[in-house]
Amino acid sequence: MRNVLGPSGIGTKASSSSAHLLSLSQRDLDSVHSSAMGSLSSHAAIIPDLDSIRRETGCECARLRWLEPGGWGRRRCNAARMDLQRIGALAVNPLGDRIIESFFPDGGQQVDFAGFARVLAHFRPVDDEDIGNRDPKQPEPLNSRTNKLRFAFQLYDLDRDGKISRREMLQVLRLMVGVQVTEEQLESIADRTVQEADEDGDGAVSFLEFTKSLEKMNIEQKMSIRILK
């Protein structure tokens, strides 16, 4: 087991989390992986790294399982696909596999903490104050409506062509709809779903069409988790 409890199994709260990560990475230098935002290879870079992750994602990192006792980060800086797959309830989640996949965008087997937090940052609640104070020059925050939608969209769009084809819709429906519905019925549902959203008549749902079909829905609310605040 790789995520065995370390010897210094103390609770990691917001104040101690960065120090914690530091000590971890010192122990497991070999597994340090260069993150998207910068290198973790030097010890000094680690604490700013965590801070910058927090700045970028807005995540209160200490609340994540990664840094909790027994979490993956206890001994390493990277989590493997296996770690996520080991989570019990994810296995029965119809979209579990796809969601795990979304943590590994490049098909890799490892994700570092920055990438991990970046994915989770999609689910931060939208703070009205954030919107007001945001620098217009900066890129949209990860928890914006568009990014939330994009996350959902790429769960459908398996081949990453920017479109949900009928086949992809059918696959999702097969996961979501119970086995009781026959294949024929599923297909007609998929057809109708695609046609409902499809506006340019290409038989597939583009991201724009996807957004439009959900424009009446309160995405900011439905794709947020309070504890990530």
Partner 1 sequence: MLRAALPLLGLLLAGAGAVEEPTQDPGLPGEPPPGLELFRWQWHEVEAPYLVALWILVASLAKIVFHLSRKVTSLVPESCLLILLGLVLGGIVLAVAKKAEYQLEPGTFFLFLLPPIVLDSGYFMPSRLFFDNLGAILTYAVVGTLWNAFTTGAALWGLQQAGLVAPKVQAGLLDFLLFGSLISAVDPVAVLAVFEEVHVNETLFIIVFGESLLNDAVTVVLYKVCNSFVEMGSANVRATDYLKGVASLFVVSLGGAAVGLVFAFLLALTTRFTKRVRIIEPLLVFLLAYAAYLTAEMASLSAILAVTMCGLGCKKYVEANISHKSRTAVKYTMKTLASCAETIIFMLLGISAVDSSKWAWDSGLVLGTLFFILFFRALGVVLQTWVLNQFRLVRLDKIDQVVMSYGGLRGAVAFALVILLDRMKVPAKDYFVATTIVVVFFTVIVQGLTIKPLVKWLKVKRSEHHKPTLNQELHEHTFDHILAAVEDVVGHHGYHYWRDRWEQFDKKYLSQLLMRRSAYRIRDQIWDVYYRLNIRDAISFVDQGGHVLSSTGLTLPSMPSRNSVAETSVTNLLRESGSGACLDLQVIDTVRSGRDREDAVMHHLLCGGLYKPRRRYKASCSRHFISEDAQERQDKEVFQQNMKRRLESFKSTKHNICFTKSKPRLRKTGHRKKDGVANAEAANGKPQDLGFQDTAAVILTVESEEEEESDSSETEKEDDEGIIFVARATSEVLQEGKVSGNLEVCPSPRIIPPSPTCAEKELPWKSGQGDLAVYVSSETTKIVPVEMQTGWNQSMSSLESLASPPCTQAPTLTHLPPCPLGTEEPQAPLNLPSDPHPSFAFPPSLAKAGRSRSESSADIPQQQELQPLMGHKDNTRLSPGIANSHWCIQFNRGGWL
- Count of CB atoms within 10 A of residue 10's CB? 9
CA atoms within 13 A on the CB side of 116: 25
Q: Is 19 helix (H, G, I), strand (E, B) or coil?
A: helix
Q: Is 80 helix (H, G, I), strand (E, B) or coil?
A: strand
State how far the Cα of 21 lies from the Cα of 62, in Å rounded to an integer: 10
Q: How far is CA 88 from CA 85, 184, 185, in A?
A: 8, 32, 31
State how far the Cα of 217 lies from the Cα of 229, in Å rounded to an integer: 21
Site for partner 1, residues 140 to 159, rule: CB under 8 A: 151-152, 155-156
* 8-state DSSP, 111: E
Nearest C-alpha neighbor of 59 from the set 127, 4, 136, 133:
127
Asked whether position 161 contacts partner 1 by CB under 8 A, the answer is no
Q: What is the pattern of x (binds partner 1, CB under 8 A) and - over residues 64-103? A: xx--x--x------------x--xxxx-xxxxx--x---x
Nearer to partner 1, 40 or 194 (CB): 194
State how far the Cα of 60 lies from the Cα of 14, in Å rounded to an integer: 7
Name the residue type at position 121.
Answer: A
Asked whether position 172 contacts partner 1 by CB under 8 A, the answer is yes
Asked whether position 138 contacts partner 1 by CB under 8 A, the answer is no
Q: What angle do CA 76, 82, 86 make, to 5 degrees?
A: 105
Which residue in 23, 42, 146, 195 binds partner 1 (CB under 8 A)?
Answer: 195
Nearer to partner 1, 36 or 181 (CB): 181
- Count of CB atoms within 10 A of residue 48's CB? 12
Nearer to partner 1, 103 or 144 (CB): 103
Asked whether position 120 contacts partner 1 by CB under 8 A, the answer is yes
Q: How many residues bind partner 1 (CB under 8 A)?
A: 61
Site for partner 1, residues 12 to 41, rule: CB under 8 A: none
Which residue in 123, 147, 158, 171 binds partner 1 (CB under 8 A)?
Answer: 123
Nearer to partner 1, 15 or 180 (CB): 180
Nearer to partner 1, 136 or 201 (CB): 201
Site of interaction with partner 1 (CB under 8 A): 63-65, 68, 71, 84, 87-90, 92-96, 99, 103, 120, 123, 125, 151-152, 155-156, 166, 172-173, 176-178, 180-181, 184-185, 187-189, 191-193, 195-197, 199-201, 203, 210, 212-214, 216-217, 221-228
